[in-house]
């Protein structure tokens, strides 16, 4: 009988991972010798089938580009994951695979920590899994938002200064500017930003993306994705360990 308890992260081209370091430090602190956390780099989501049969697997985190695609491989979803339409945490218990969304929890903690009462309208940049979690949290707090993506009505080519001035919360949810492509930056009217703006970039590596640097040059309050990442990881740990059926 394999007594090892396995956790991990699935994604594509995940050469670096906050999660692996985070959980390995946690195992060390809690002196959990039988836990391991691995990176599962999948070329196609269908490869997750092989992973499911791995003995001792308690669950795993999900990152780009599989947060939506994983849903078809699961037995059930938490209420939040179902409403969001994206999963970043999977629990496997007695052969049953349940999807959760802890990005929403992490983003909500980040938003409430930094938002001023006057900041009451948001722009969501991107429309992938993370953007869906962000939209869910904004809706929950009755903060109207507009999603900007390549193929939305308002997109990166026609987003103007006026729209940016009217929306004092900007959340950058695309992977543009992530390590190793740290020189990349979204096309965005930075001149419209002011000290009245809160700019949250969900990227954590590098700590300061080109997007954050340009926003802070205009006096905006800027926050990277590190705290959100830490919070969503803590929530995942709770799910894997305390969802006793």
Catalytic residue ranges: 67
Nearest to 120 by CA among 143, 150, 147: 143
**Separation CA 87–CA 25 (nearest Å):** 24
Look up residue 129 and give its two tokens.
Answer: 């899994």
CB atoms within 10 A of CB 49: 9
Phi and psi of 189, rounded to 5°? -75, 75
Q: Cα–Cα distances in Å, from 15 out to 18, 40, 41, 151?
A: 10, 10, 8, 29
Q: With contact defined as beta carbons under 8 Å apart, do 118 and 236 qualify?
A: no
Q: With contact defined as beta carbons under 8 Å apart, do 143 and 98 qualify?
A: no
């Amino acid at each position: 009988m394999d007594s090892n308890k396995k956790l991990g992260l699935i994604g594509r081209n995940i050469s670096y991972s906050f999660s692996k370091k985070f959980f390995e430090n946690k195992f060390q602190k809690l002196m959990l010798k039988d836990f391991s956390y691995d990176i599962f780099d999948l070329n196609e989501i269908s490869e997750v089938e092989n992973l499911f049969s791995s003995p001792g697997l308690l669950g795993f985190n999900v990152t780009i580009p599989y947060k939506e695609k994983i849903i078809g491989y699961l037995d059930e979803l938490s209420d939040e994951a179902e409403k969001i339409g994206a999963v970043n945490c999977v629990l496997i218990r007695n052969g049953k695979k349940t999807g959760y969304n802890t990005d929403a929890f992490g983003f909500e903690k980040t938003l409430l920590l930094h938002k001023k009462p006057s900041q009451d309208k948001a722009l969501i940049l991107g429309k992938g899994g993370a953007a869906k979690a962000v939209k869910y949290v904004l809706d929950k707090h009755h903060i109207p938002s507009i999603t900007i993506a390549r193929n939305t009505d308002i997109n990166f080519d026609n987003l103007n200064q006026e729209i940016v001035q009217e929306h004092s919360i900007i959340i950058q949810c695309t992977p543009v500017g992530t390590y190793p492509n740290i020189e990349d930056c979204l096309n965005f009217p930075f001149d419209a930003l002011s000290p009245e703006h809160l700019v949250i970039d969900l990227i954590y590596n590098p700590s300061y993306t080109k997007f954050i640097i340009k926003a802070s040059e205009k006096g905006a309050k800027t926050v990277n994705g590190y705290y959100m990442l830490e919070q969503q990881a803590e929530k995942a740990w709770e799910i894997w360990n305390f969802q006793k059926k």
